[in-house]
Amino acid sequence: MISDGLRDALATWLDGLRAIDGAAENTIEAYRKDVAGFLGFLALHHGGAEGRAVLARLTLQDMRAWMAWERGRGLSARSLARALSAVKSFMRWASERDGFDPTAVLAARAPKFRGKLPRPLAEDAAREVIASVEAQAAEPWVAARDMAVVTLLYACGLRISEALGLTGADAPLPATLRIRGKGGKERMVPVLPAAQQAVEAYRRLCPHDLTAEAPLFRGVRGGALSPRVVQKVMETVRLQLGLPATATPHALRHSFATHLLAAGGDLRSIQELLGHASLSTTQAYTAVDTARLMEVYAAAHPRA
């Protein structure tokens, strides 16, 4: 049971993240769940709900007890590291507001885990996917729509939410597109002619009125296109082509980055194109490129 004081503190912190930092609602909900779980543990650990003063009394032993408890519940190392990051962020805010030293909490170390590498498609597979998507729908405008969406994901490295967030005001697509990504951060993304042409082909065939303020990509009934529709099309295509389950719409974004890196693109530029807040996130693609190089080496190197 979390005390009213701690519950109010959590709500105020989340409101600040939403209003000041522009955090996405999915991020807000993840933070709320992680920190609420931590505060709930403190109530159990200390034998009852306590007010905000408990935050100033936390020790490194308290933090270790919480992490051991979470691991005992089956929480993965990756998820625990994410939760610890959220708790530390909350505690920094609370310490500045209430004037206490959060060192004990900030000193807690996250469990080590091996990060998953992005799973891009090979260049020929990416081209086959895009070509095959157009053949899935019986309605020509729906086929053109699906083709336009997946082309944007691969040609511009967009997240599916970013592609489906475009409105009629964004078309015809300019040579450089302003994209609002995670946390409301904006970036400029070059648009290849292939993507411009695919979107224009869809617009010509679309039976719905694509007004400036309405979504650019529409469902059959005229509402905003659901990400699930695109995911289902990709599921069908990957089965037809014999591709692995990792061949998802997001894999096209991974493919954009990996193929750009292989062609000589530098990490900083790719980071900006993808909208990654940290260069370390983009650096995962160098590991993918190295792993692929070693596969080629192992297959081609002459053996004695």
Q: Which residues are catalytic?
A: 159, 182, 250, 253, 276, 285
* Dist. CA 289–CA 299, nearest whole Å: 16
The C-alpha angle with vertex 174 and arms to 258 and 266, in degrees rounded to 5, equals 25
**How far apart, in Å, do the first and last CA atoms of the chain sit?**
68
What's the DSSP call for residue 2? -
**Residue whose C-alpha is closest to residue 38's, from 78, 75, 107:** 75
Contact between residue 285 and residue 258 where contact means Cβ atoms under 8 Å apart:
yes
Q: What is the dihedral of CA 74, 80, 86, 92, to 10 degrees?
A: 120
Contacts of 260 (CB under 8 A, 6+ apart): 157, 270, 273
Q: Which amino acid is at 191?
A: V
* Dist. CA 296–CA 293, nearest whole Å: 5
